[in-house]
Amino acid sequence: MEWIWFFIFLIGIFLILPIHFLSVEHLKFQKKYGLEKGDKITKILGMASGWGFFIFLFGIWISPQPKFTVPIFQDLIIIIPFINYSIPLVHLIISIPIILLGAWFGIVGVKETTLEVSETHKAEKVVTTGIYSFIRHPQYFGAILSHLGISILLSSLFSLLSTPLIILYNYLTAWKEERELIKEFGKDYEEYKKNVPMLYPKLR
């Protein structure tokens, strides 16, 4: 059954969750292996889990699965040349703003903390400025929006239906990171948590 690839990629995402959990346990690895070696191990784990997530997520988007269409203007189709792929115009109109917004949250989040921190999940301080002043995990929020937008763009039904699971994955990673951040930064991070939402932007 061709749909099996979708479920393989979906299961793969959750199989790398324990790797991500280990990647943020910096104090544990530093205590066991020393500062330099401990940080090197968590850096490798962080990059493996981060890139693994996006590889499996990409697989979810493009794997063979039933297609859906928004039940308006179904006859308006955009044909992409060279690859002979068609996209309903209404899907394009709905998805592009969502994808761009998701990309903006992700890019600005990386820019505020640096690419190295984003890849290794190793922060040197509690960042509360810029985008982090109104959402604690902009990159995870951006990933959720991007998943939703790309699922609509590609008309991927199973991918769209898996959105609650993608939200759950990002919630669990954020939850684990915050447990470790409290161990590392104590009251500074606890105070930050009180004032800024985790996975949705503060509007005021």
The amino acid sitting at 144 is I
Q: Which residue has the higher pLDDT, 85 or 3?
A: 3
> In the chain, what are the domain boundaries?
4-195
Note the pLDDT tens digit of each residue in 161-190. Answer: 999 999 999 999 999 999 999 999 999 999
Candidates 172, 160, 159, 147; CA nearest to 63 is 159
Question: Cα separation of 137 and 134, whole Å?
Answer: 9
* Phi (first) and psi of residue 78, to 5 degrees: -100, 125
pLDDT at 195 over 70: yes
Tokens standing for 93? 């109109």
Sign for the pseudo-dihedral over CA of 162, 167, 173, 176: negative
pLDDT at 76 over 70: no
At residue 114, the pLDDT reads 80
Confidence of residue 115 (pLDDT cuts 50, 70, 90): confident
- The residues, ordered by sequence, that sit 6+ positions from 108 with a Cβ below 8 Å of its Cβ are 130, 131, 138
Q: Which secondary structure element, helix H or strand E, spans residue 142, and what is its range?
A: helix 138-153
pLDDT at 74 over 90: no
Note the pLDDT tens digit of each residue in 131-146. Answer: 999 999 999 999 999 9
Confidence of residue 18 (pLDDT cuts 50, 70, 90): very high
Question: Cα separation of 32 and 112, whole Å?
Answer: 31
At residue 57, the pLDDT reads 96
Kindly state the percentage of the chain with pLDDT values over 90: 76
Confidence of residue 14 (pLDDT cuts 50, 70, 90): very high
- pLDDT average, residue stretch 82-87: 73
Region of poorest pLDDT, from 30-34, 121-125, 185-189: 121-125
Query: Which CATH number describes the domain made up of 4-195?
Result: 1.20.120
Note the pLDDT tens digit of each residue in 94-108. Answer: 999 999 999 999 999
